[in-house]
Amino acid sequence: MTAAPDSDQIQRIALVTGASRGLGKAIATQLAADGHHVVLVARSADAIEAVAADITSSGGSVACHPCDLSDDAAVDALLEGVVESCGRLDILVNNAGITRDGLILRMSDEDFDAVITTNLRAAFRLCRAAARPMMRGRWGRMINIGSVVGVMGNPGQANYAAAKAGLIGMTKSIGKELGGKGITANVVAPGFIGTDMTDALPEQLVKEAVAKLPLKRLGLPEEIANAVSFLASEKAAYITGHVLAVDGGLLS
C-alpha cells in the first residue's frame, strides 16, 4: 500500500516505474531532490525499499509500491492506490524496461510479447489511468523513457525497437490529445548509459559504440535524471510531443 506524503512542502506527486536501480533510481532520487513526493515502483520490494531509505535519509519524501507491470490487475491497483493515498498524480515516469534480444529469424513470440508487454503496454495502461487524475488537476507530466533504438533500430532488438518506437508514437498522440488540459507528454531517449542493462552487453560492443560517439563516453544515469527533472518542471511547460535524445551525440 502506498503511504500518503506527510509534508505540506511537497511540490508534486510523482510515480517512477523501474525505480529499483539504474536510470529509474537516479530519476526517483532527482525528483525527490526537486521536492516531489515520489512513489517507487518495481517488482523487487527489497530493492525499492533500499532506494527509499537512501532518499529518506537525504530528506526526500517517498513511498514504495511493489508491482509487476506485466500483470494488468496489478497495474490497475497501482494507480488506484496512489490516487487514493496521495489524492492526485501529477508526474508519471514510465521507465521500467526489459530486453529479450535475438535475431528476427530466431525471436520467439514469447520474447516479442514480453518486451511489448512491459515496455509498451504497461506504459500505455499507466498513461491512460493517469490521464483522469491529471485532467482533474489541470496539470500533468507524462515522461516515457524510450531509447535511441526506437528511432534507428538495432540488430537483435526487433522487439525492443518496436516497443520504443511505439512509445514515441503513443506519446506524441497523447500530447496532442491532452495538451489542452495542461498535460504534456514527452519521451527521453537515452543512448548508452552505464547501468545493469548495458553491463549485460558484450564489452567489445560497448567499447566500439563509445568510440563512435561525439562525446566519447557512456552516459550517467544522473544525466537522464536531469532531462526528466527538466521535463517534469514548470520550465518545460511549452514542450510536448518531443523526443529528447540524451545520447552523447549518437543520433546527431
Catalytic residue selected from 12, 24, 26, 160: 160
Q: How far is the CB of 12 from ligand NDP (least distance, A)?
A: 21
Instruction: List phi, psi (to 5°) of 194.
Output: -70, 105
Chain CA centroid to CA 200, Å: 20
Q: Which is nearer to ligand NDP, 66 or 137 (CB)?
A: 66
Taking the CA of residue 67 as centre, how many other CA atoms within 13 Å lie in the half-sphere pointing to its CB?
Answer: 31
Q: Which is nearer to ligand NDP, 101 or 181 (CB)?
A: 101
Q: Is 238 one of the catalytic residues?
A: no
Q: How far is the CB of 224 from ligand NDP (least distance, A)?
A: 7
Q: Which residues contact 72 (CB under 8 A, 6 or more apart)?
A: 125
Q: Which is nearer to ligand NDP, 43 or 136 (CB)?
A: 43
Q: Which is nearer to ligand NDP, 8 or 196 (CB)?
A: 196
For 12, 129, 164, 199, the CA distances from 135, given in Å and listed in that order, are 14, 11, 26, 39
Q: How far is the CB of 186 from ligand NDP (least distance, A)?
A: 15
C-alpha cell at 36: 516531489
Q: How far is the CB of 20 from ligand NDP (least distance, A)?
A: 4
Q: How far is the CB of 9 from ligand NDP (least distance, A)?
A: 27
Q: Which residues contact 97 (CB under 8 A, 6 or more apart)?
A: 18, 118, 119, 145, 147, 160, 163, 197
Residues engaged in binding ligand NDP (CB under 6 A): 17-18, 20-24, 42-44, 47, 67-70, 95-98, 118, 145, 147, 190, 192-193, 195-198
| Residues assigned a catalytic role | 160
